[in-house]
């Protein structure tokens, strides 16, 4: 019997032509997900901004044996019922690492060389000479030792930045949580790239921003809930830190009336650090390759530890 692949769709839809004749593709929106889940063998979560899976999964009837999300994070779909089930969850590990790392490096260079004000002065036709900060020789602390965090560390090291990685447990080349305060107190650049778990929820609060040095710049490319946004706003207003850049937020899209838009010293970007031209084709091809493994009875890769909330082994 041909397996049914249910796709929680988004625009543009995934290209799954290679599965013609090998899978029955059924597309759904969030409103109809619950009623279609029982008939699916596989669920492809293409709309990674939706929380529909978390809401629909506890319903009645059978559930897919495998769920794949076209994202690195899985917090948008995990719920107690899915976590406790025998369903395998995989993610898009391998797609976003280098783009996110390049984005972080771009922010570091732009801030150090004061490019935002250069563009402002150009619009004003104002010739205002300034001196930029050196990047080589500075220190960074990257919180999150998974593939994205490690790619950020490699890219910053190529710029001459001394970089420390902090992970869930200490091991060779990676610091544990006990070292976090010490490392961020010495860092010029503090980058949040961790998955969202019970341990990382609002890990950057008022106390942590108070630990950082006044010249530090904070970047979040992990999950919005890693940061207490009110505490960050207070830290910037009090000049506890020099500035910040957020690519992820507690509420997305960021509401037009959010005070974060106008917060001095804050760069706002619309959750785009990992999104590059051709990304959708890469994500679709990755799913097809995983489906071929699944259909052949071979072990899947990128398998998420549902209790931890990320792919272990790094």
Structure token pair of residue 262 = 């106008």
155-174 burial, b at 16+ Cβ within 10 Å, e below that, comes to bbeebebebbbbbbeeeeeb
Number of other residues whose CB lies within 10 A of the CB of residue 84? 10
Structure token pair of residue 122 = 């150009």
Structure token pair of residue 206 = 């008022």
Return the beta strands (E) in the chain as ranges.
Answer: 4-8, 24-28, 42-45, 66-69, 88-90, 139-143, 162-166, 189-192, 217-220, 243-246, 266-268
Where in the sequence numbering do the catalytic residues fall?
223, 252, 271
Phi-psi region of 114 (alpha: psi -120 to 50; beta: other; left: phi over 0): left
Number of other residues whose CB lies within 10 A of the CB of residue 274? 21
- Alpha helices (H) along the chain: 33-36, 52-56, 80-84, 97-112, 115-124, 147-158, 180-184, 206-211, 229-237, 279-295
Q: How many CA atoms lie within 13 A of 54 on its CB side?
A: 13
Q: Are 93 and 70 in contact (CB under 8 A)?
A: no
Q: How many CA atoms lie within 13 A of 205 on its CB side?
A: 6
């Amino acid at each position: 019997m041909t397996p049914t692949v249910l796709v929680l769709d988004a625009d543009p839809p995934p290209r799954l032509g290679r599965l013609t004749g090998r899978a029955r593709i059924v597309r759904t929106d969030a409103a109809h997900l619950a009623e279609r889940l029982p008939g699916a063998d596989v669920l492809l979560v293409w709309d990674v901004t939706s929380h529909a899976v978390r809401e629909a999964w506890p319903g009645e009837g059978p559930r897919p044996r495998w769920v794949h999300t076209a994202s690195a994070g899985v917090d948008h779909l995990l719920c107690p019922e899915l976590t406790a089930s025998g369903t395998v969850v995989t993610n898009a590990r391998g797609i976003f690492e280098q783009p996110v790392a390049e984005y972080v490096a771009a922010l570091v260079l732009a801030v150090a060389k004061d490019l935002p004000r250069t563009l402002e002065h150009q619009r004003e036709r104002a010739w205002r000479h300034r001196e930029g900060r050196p990047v080589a020789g500075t220190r960074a602390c990257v919180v999150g030792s998974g593939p994205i965090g490690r790619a950020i560390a490699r890219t910053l090291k190529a710029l001459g930045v001394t970089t420390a990685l902090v992970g869930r447990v200490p091991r060779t080349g990676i610091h544990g949580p006990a070292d976090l305060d010490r490392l961020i107190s010495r860092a010029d650049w503090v980058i949040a790239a961790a998955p969202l778990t019970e341990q990382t929820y609002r890990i950057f609060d008022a106390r942590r921003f108070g630990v950082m040095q006044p010249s530090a710049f904070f970047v979040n490319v992990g999950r919005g809930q890693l940061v207490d946004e009110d505490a960050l706003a207070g830290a910037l207003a009090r000049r506890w830190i020099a500035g910040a850049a957020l690519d992820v937020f507690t509420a997305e899209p960021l509401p037009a009336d959010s005070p974060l838009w106008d917060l001095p010293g804050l760069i706002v970007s619309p959750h785009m650090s990992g999104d590059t031209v051709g990304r959708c084709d890469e994500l679709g091809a990755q799913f097809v390759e995983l489906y071929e493994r699944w259909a052949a009875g071979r072990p899947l890769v990128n398998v998420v530890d549902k209790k931890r909330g990320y792919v272990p082994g790094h």
